[in-house]
Each structure stands twice: as C-alpha cells, then as structure tokens.
Structure 1
Amino acid sequence: MRLNRYLALCGVASRRRSEDIIRSGRVKVGNVTVTDPARDVSEEDQVSVDGNLVCFQKSVYLVMNKPKGYVCAVEDRFYPTVIGLVPPDLRAKRIYPVGRLDRQSEGLLVLTNDGDFCNSLIHPSAGYQKTYEVLLDRPLTEEELSYWRKGVPIDGRVVSPVSLRVMDKKPAGRWVSIVLQEGLKREIRLMASYFSLSVNVLFRRKVGRMELRKLKSGEYCVVELQRLWRLIRQGGSV
C-alpha cells in the first residue's frame, strides 16, 4: 500500500497529514529516508517516524463522556489526560481524541487511532455540527440573545452559532443550547465573554446527530466504525 496510507493505518496521522510528514524527510523505510508518499510498502517493512518504529494497528473507535478536569491530549505535564481514562491495552493502540474539549468542559468525545476517520469528522467541509449545553453565570437578556445569534467578533472576524436558544431548565434563563459548525478554540467561552458572561458549565451533548445520554462521566464504550458513522449521520444515543 502507499506509504501515506500505511502511516494513517498505524495511527500516525491522517493520510493528508502523513504526506507532509513524509515530504519533510521524517520517515524511513528500513534505513532509507523516503520522501515520496506514493512509495509502496508492506506490513513486513520496517517503517519509522522520527526514529521511532511504527506498526500497523487495527483501527479502534471509542465514545467517551469526558469529565471536567481532564485535557484532550495523549500526554500532558500538568493535568490528567482523557487517554488515562482507558485501560493499557487500548492506550497501546495509540488512540487520541478527535477534536478538543478544553479542560473545564465535559461531554461527548470520540477517540480513535484512525487518522482518515479523524480528518473526515473534523474537517470543516464535512459539515458535522456539534451541540452544547451551557450554564451561564446570569440570565441572557433578549437583546444579548438577539445580538449573539447574529454573531460576535472573535480574532478579527464575526463568528455566529448555527443556533442559540434558552433551554427550559433551572436556573431559569441561564441554560442555553448552542449548535456550532466550525468549533474554534474556546469559541463558546469567548462569545460569552463578549457579553461579560462567564461559563459555569460547558457540556457537549451531540456530535452530528449522535447524542450522549447513557454514558456516565468518565465512562466510554468501544464502537464499530459502521455503527459510529450511523450514529453521527442518522442519530442515536450512547
């Protein structure tokens, strides 16, 4: 198979990102540096990235209810990571979080070692929306609600949610449901701060049409790829 596909199946990165890694001279097949992503390799070849051998991994897909206080990273010097919530046999498959929830955020998170799946899910052109439930430190006014729906400036551009509504949930007026298309870093917290609002709780409820209902905080389940895509595209709860 092509070298860039091999690296993706080893969990190194997506095929597109693997092409960049190969062209930068970071990959060897045997003792030879290879810069052509189309180079054919087999499972018997010894392939290394930055001097570290990589091996063909069976793709695995997890859905997790991320708890508050954990970072979406494979390793971190200061805080516990979501990878630490899964057993060693799954960690050995080089899984990583798809997209990010910041340390203080909670809710639905997908983890995998399949770079192509990761790219298919998070690339803006894929169009998979994400739904969040947010507890603010005070109720929104009607004026603020209207303004927020139209979009607020973040880093020199106007950013608006796909939808924003006040939820019928106590404390009244402080819980809002926000649907995002793009998902910039800390987007909800930045939009809230524009109105001098603080976010007390930020919970991701949906990825696409897949909805978090059953998993308790810190729990995860392993899902087959076909079922995972069906949940994301057609709906269902985990």
Structure 2
Amino acid sequence: MNEGIRLNRFLAMCGLGARRKVEDIISSGRVKVDGKVVLMPAYRVDEGNEVTVDGSRVQPESKVYVVMNKPAGWVCSVSDPFDPVIAGLLPEKYRSFRLFPVGRLDRETEGLLILTNDGTFAQEVLHPSRRILREYHALLDREINRKSAREWLSGVELDGRLLKPASVLILDREPAGRWVSVVLAEGVKREVRRMAQSLGFEVEVLVRKRIGKMELKELPAGKFVEMSRGELWNAIRSGGSV
C-alpha cells in the first residue's frame, strides 16, 4: 500500500461492517493508528501501521467466495432461532470468515447461491446498474398457457410497483405445461412466488438456475465449490457452470 488506504475502507476490509458502521466506530474515538486516536475516515493507513479498535489489533480478512446449490429448508441468514442457517452446510474452517449470502433465497427456494465476506463484491453483483440477470425454474400447481405467460411477461404490480421479468418461458419438461423459466433483472422479496400468486398460480418448487451467465448444472444440493474472485466474476460475466 504505497499511498495507503482510507481508514474507513481498511476497517471494512477487516470485517467491521459497511461504511456507515465503521465511520461511526471512527467518530466515537474507538480507533487508534500506532497508538493515537484517529477521527478522520479518510486518514491513510499504510502497510506498517498498527490499527486497533477498542484496544484490539485488526487486520484485513482473507476474502472467500463460495458457490452453493442451496437445498430447501435452509434460511439465508447468519443466525435464526427456528430454522437451520445456510452457513451450517459449510465445514468448520469457513466459520471464522463470517460469510454472508449475496442476495437471499427464501427458505423453500433451492439453487445457486453465492456466499462471501467481500462486501464490495456483493454490492457489485446486486447493483441494478450491473444488470446481472437471474433465472429461476418454477413448478406451478397447474398448467400455464401462453396467454398467462404473456400476461406474466407484461408485468405484475406488487407493493405499488410494476415488476416486469426479462423473460417468461414455458419449459419442455415433465409435468408438461407446469414448469416455467422466469428471468429477473432485479431482486424483490419472494418475487417469483408473489407474481405467480397474482396470476392465480402457486409455486410448488422454485430453483435458481443461473446468476448472470453462471449456470447450475451438476452441483448436488447442499454441496459447494470455492472460487477465486476472478474465477467467479468470469463465470458470471462470460459463462461457466457448477
């Protein structure tokens, strides 16, 4: 770090929270650099500096990127008093990295899920300007015809907003006429299920099959692969499968 790194970014890299949280930590006088209290978020920290928070030294965490095939019945949360959390499917060695899901899947939804401790990466993947599409395969409780699929594609109003999928296609798989592919450009809580309900359908099975151009093909439910940041971005942007 020749020119150093801003103190607020350094603390975020140490896993102490997003920008607003770490700036609160700095302004409260809890941060010292080489033994001196620093109150400026823009203060530059060099490689040789010792940074402490509440008297304990902090250092940037190693960044970890995991792609999982999430099974039904697990919640995308760091902790939950009632249901098993997704991190419980990972080996013990990952616990100290404090991984979190990049975009949540609800309890009963299956499929592609990214877990990381890199907040910047997560924000880039989720930001609407990136337009990283997500494809879901949904098994409906009854057959859907082309007219209903076109109605779905034209948009459904939820919470006062018109939500329009990027595509809605009836899939050629059994049971015939009940599987649809829905591609979304933005994430809204339980979006696929709620859109289906507004059209008179219930979703019996929901699987996220694609994030960007990265597809779920062979990874069994509950299993995962670890990637580098570069490998993961390449799969999302240029194509790849797990």
Task: Give yes or no for TM over 0.5.
Answer: yes
Structure 2 equivalent of residue 63 of structure 1: 67
RMSD of aligned Cα (Å): 2.1
Alignment of 1:188 onto 2:192 = yes
Structure 1 equivalent of residue 129 of structure 2: 125
Please report how far the alpha carbon of residue 35 of structure 1 lies from its aligned counterpart in structure 2 after TM superposition: 5.4
Partners of 1:109 and 1:4 in 2: CA distance: 28
Percent identity (aligned):
45
Partners of 2:11 and 2:104 in 1: CA distance: 22
- Report the 3-state secondary structure (helix = DSSP H, G, I; strand = E; otherwise coil) of the residue aligned with 2:173: coil
Structure 2 equivalent of residue 163 of structure 1: 167
Structure 2 equivalent of residue 45 of structure 1: 51
**Aligned mate of 1:136, from 136, 140, 155:** 140
Partners of 1:102 and 1:161 in 2: CA distance: 19
Higher-Rg structure is 2
Contact 2:16 2:22 in 1 (8 A): no
Cα distance change on mapping 1:54 and 1:184 into 2, 3 Å: farther
Structure 1 equivalent of residue 31 of structure 2: 29
Gaps of 5+ in 2: none
Count the aligned residue pairs.
Answer: 232
- Report the 3-state secondary structure (helix = DSSP H, G, I; strand = E; otherwise coil) of the residue aligned with 1:46: strand
- Report the 3-state secondary structure (helix = DSSP H, G, I; strand = E; otherwise coil) of the residue aligned with 2:68: strand
Please report how far the alpha carbon of residue 2 of structure 1 lies from its aligned counterpart in structure 2 after TM superposition: 1.2
Partners of 2:189 and 2:81 in 1: CA distance: 20
Partners of 1:163 and 1:100 in 2: CA distance: 21
Contact 1:96 1:111 in 2 (8 A): yes
Give the counterpart letter for 1:157 in structure 2: R
Contact 2:75 2:107 in 1 (8 A): yes
- Report the 3-state secondary structure (helix = DSSP H, G, I; strand = E; otherwise coil) of the residue aligned with 1:72: coil
In the superposition, the TM-score normalised over structure 1's length comes to 0.90
Contact 1:25 1:34 in 2 (8 A): no
Contact 1:22 1:35 in 2 (8 A): no
In the superposition, the TM-score normalised over structure 2's length comes to 0.89
Alignment of 1:77 onto 2:90 = no
